[in-house]
């Protein structure tokens, strides 16, 4: 595995720790400005909303200035805006600063994934994606533990610590990633960027968008919004059980991320995605009908394992569609937007269903979203380049014949 991949994994871990440090304190800090719950929620939502709206422009920036420069600019924007949050004197200042943080966040997310695709060897794309996702997951587990302690000391301290962590990450990026855009500046400049409209014509990319949307809906949206409420209101358990259920999901997720990456590189992208979506859909759909807390935790574990099987292969499939030479900023931005859109729409729709018809319907509909994505993948071709194909031919999309040229595989035309 190239050294730069390990650098990206390490920086994703540090970024996630910093985000986790701020997460437990942010709602309380917003309420300290004497605003209501809705206003406090808006500060949290504006971050995701700005990420969604700014993603297309981030993709274009990657295409013009390169992944490493965009990565460093994005991290710097988040560092400055987060550090400034510690000195916010009003609610509106905090709202604007969090919006600016969303701009920087989408810049470094799109650029990091583009860089990961460019630097990872074709036969290791799944494993590289798995390690990158694991870095984020572990950071998100550790961060809130640190943030809770810092929040007890001062509500402003977590923002300063997160900003300091990001300054360290920028320093690492400058030292170890500068000039590592992948194939050399001349070659990169000569290669036209991959276009979203062209990628959308590829059935594997459409399937990846569907899976990304479902992942955002189920994992980043409904799981966080409804699981803690269900544990308290339906199962009658203490609030701490909500945290336990989320932690169990994370354990299941971590247990399969790296395995999924290896399977994607050895057996193809489709098998782990199909299995993961099926498990995620089934486990999510039954959550609202379980009355035993132990069974609920078991279903949460299975849902986490299913989600872990999906993430690395769909990242690798998108990389296969783009290819290693072309910049895929707008293609990756669309891929990220699908997840963000699911994370925004999912909690709203599922929350309304839970309030009107009960938790059962909310979780069933969420499971149905994952099943719908499964349907896209049943029709999608395998994108893993054949092991027997010459690597140069796979990378360039050159013509080949016989068993060395699998039908409908590799980069988009």
What are the tens digits of pLDDT across the range 109-158?
888 888 887 787 777 878 888 888 888 777 777 777 777 677 777 888 88
* Model confidence pLDDT, tens digit, residues 26-64: 777 887 888 776 677 677 778 878 888 888 888 788 878
- Inter-residue contact 246 to 220 (CB < 8 Å): no
pLDDT at 35: 79
* Model confidence pLDDT, tens digit, residues 144-161: 777 767 777 788 888 898
pTM over 0.85: no
* Model confidence pLDDT, tens digit, residues 180-224: 654 444 444 445 667 778 888 899 999 999 999 999 888 877 887
Q: pLDDT tier at 274 (50, 70, 90 boundaries)?
A: very high
In this predicted structure, the answer to whether residue 257 has a pLDDT above a threshold of 70 is: yes
* Model confidence pLDDT, tens digit, residues 303-320: 999 999 998 899 888 888
In this predicted structure, the answer to whether residue 404 has a pLDDT above a threshold of 60 is: no
Stretch 334-345: mean pLDDT: 86
Q: Is the dihedral of CA 65, 71, 72, 77 positive or negative?
A: positive
- Nearest-Å Rg of the Cα atoms of the chain is 21
Stretch 390-410: mean pLDDT: 38
Which tokens belong to 67? 């992944």
In this predicted structure, the answer to whether residue 399 has a pLDDT above a threshold of 70 is: no
* Model confidence pLDDT, tens digit, residues 80-107: 999 999 898 898 998 899 889 889 888 8
Burial classification of residue 228, based on how many CB atoms lie within 10 Å of its CB (0-12 exposed, 13-18 middle, 19 or more buried): middle
What's the chain's average pLDDT?
80
Q: In angstroms, how far is CA 149 from the centroid of its own chain?
A: 26
- What share of the chain has pLDDT > 90, as a percent? 20
Report in angstroms the alpha-carbon separations of 203 from 4, 35, 331: 31, 47, 14
Taking the C-alpha atoms of residue 210 and residue 94, their distance in angstroms, rounded to an integer, is 34
Complete domains list, the chain, with CATH: 1-190 (1.20.1250.20), 194-413 (1.20.1250.20)
DSSP code string of 93-121: HHHHHHHHHHHHHHHHHHHHHHHHHHHS-
In this predicted structure, the answer to whether residue 363 has a pLDDT above a threshold of 50 is: yes
Q: Which of 219-233, 237-251, 395-409 has the lowest mean pLDDT?
A: 395-409
Taking the C-alpha atoms of residue 31 and residue 403, their distance in angstroms, rounded to an integer, is 63
Kindly report the backbone phi and psi dihedral angles of residue 81, in degrees, each rounded to the nearest multiple of 5, phi listed first: -70, -40
pLDDT at 185: 43
Taking the C-alpha atoms of residue 342 and residue 367, their distance in angstroms, rounded to an integer, is 13
Q: pLDDT tier at 411 (50, 70, 90 boundaries)?
A: very low
Highest mean pLDDT among 99-103, 366-370, 397-401: 366-370
Long-range contacts of 224-229 (CB under 8 A, 24+ apart): 224/347, 225/346, 225/347, 225/350, 225/351, 226/347, 226/350, 226/351, 226/354, 226/359, 226/362, 226/363, 227/287, 227/300, 229/354
Q: pLDDT tier at 401 (50, 70, 90 boundaries)?
A: very low
For residues 404 and 14, the model is more confident at 14
Kindly report the backbone phi and psi dihedral angles of residue 267, in degrees, each rounded to the nearest multiple of 5, phi listed first: -110, -10
Write the CB contacts of 136 (distance below 8 Å, at least 6 apart in sequence).
Answer: 12, 13, 15, 16
pLDDT at 36: 76
């Amino acid at each position: 595995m190239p050294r730069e991949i390990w650098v990206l994994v390490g920086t994703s871990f540090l970024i996630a720790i910093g985000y986790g440090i701020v997460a437990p304190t942010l709602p309380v800090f917003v309420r300290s400005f004497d605003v209501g719950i809705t206003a406090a929620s808006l500060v949290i939502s504006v971050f995701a909303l700005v990420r969604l709206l700014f993603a297309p422009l981030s993709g274009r920036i990657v295409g013009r200035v390169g992944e490493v420069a965009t990565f460093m600019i994005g991290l710097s924007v988040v560092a400055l805006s987060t550090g400034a949050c510690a000195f916010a004197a009003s609610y509106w200042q905090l709202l604007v600063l969090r919006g600016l943080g969303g701009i920087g966040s989408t810049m470094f997310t799109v650029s990091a994934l583009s860089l990961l695709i460019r630097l990872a060897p074709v036969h290791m794309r799944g494993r590289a994606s798995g390690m990158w996702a694991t870095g984020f997951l572990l950071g998100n587990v550790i961060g809130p533990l640190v943030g809770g302690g810092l929040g007890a000391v001062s509500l402003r301290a977590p923002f300063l610590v997160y900003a300091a962590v990001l300054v360290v990450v920028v320093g690492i990026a400058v030292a170890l990633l500068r000039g590592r855009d992948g194939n050399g500046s001349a070659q990169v400049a000569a290669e036209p960027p991959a276009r979203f409209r062209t990628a959308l014509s590829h059935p594997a990319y459409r399937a990846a968008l569907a899976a990304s949307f479902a992942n955002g809906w189920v994992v980043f949206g409904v799981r966080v919004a409804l699981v803690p409420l269900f544990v308290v209101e339906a199962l009658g358990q203490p609030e701490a059980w909500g945290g336990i259920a989320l932690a169990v999901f994370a354990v299941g997720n971590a247990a399969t991320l790296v395995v999924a990456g290896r399977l994607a590189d050895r057996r193809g992208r489709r098998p782990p995605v199909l299995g993961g979506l099926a498990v995620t859909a089934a486990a999510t759909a039954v959550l609202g009908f379980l009355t035993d807390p132990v069974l609920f935790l078991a279903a949460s574990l299975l849902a986490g394992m299913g989600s872990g099987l999906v993430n690395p292969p769909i990242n690798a499939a998108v990389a296969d569609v783009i290819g290693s030479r072309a910049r895929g900023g707008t293609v990756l931005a669309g891929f990220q937007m699908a997840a963000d859109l699911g994370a925004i729409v999912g909690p709203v729709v599922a929350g309304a269903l839970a309030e009107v018809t009960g938790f059962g319907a909310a979780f069933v509909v969420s499971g149905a979203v994952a099943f719908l994505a499964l349907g896209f993948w049943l029709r999608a071709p395998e994108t893993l380049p054949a092991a027997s194909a010459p690597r140069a031919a796979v990378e360039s999309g050159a013509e080949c014949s016989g068993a060395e040229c699998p039908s409908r595989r590799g980069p988009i035309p």
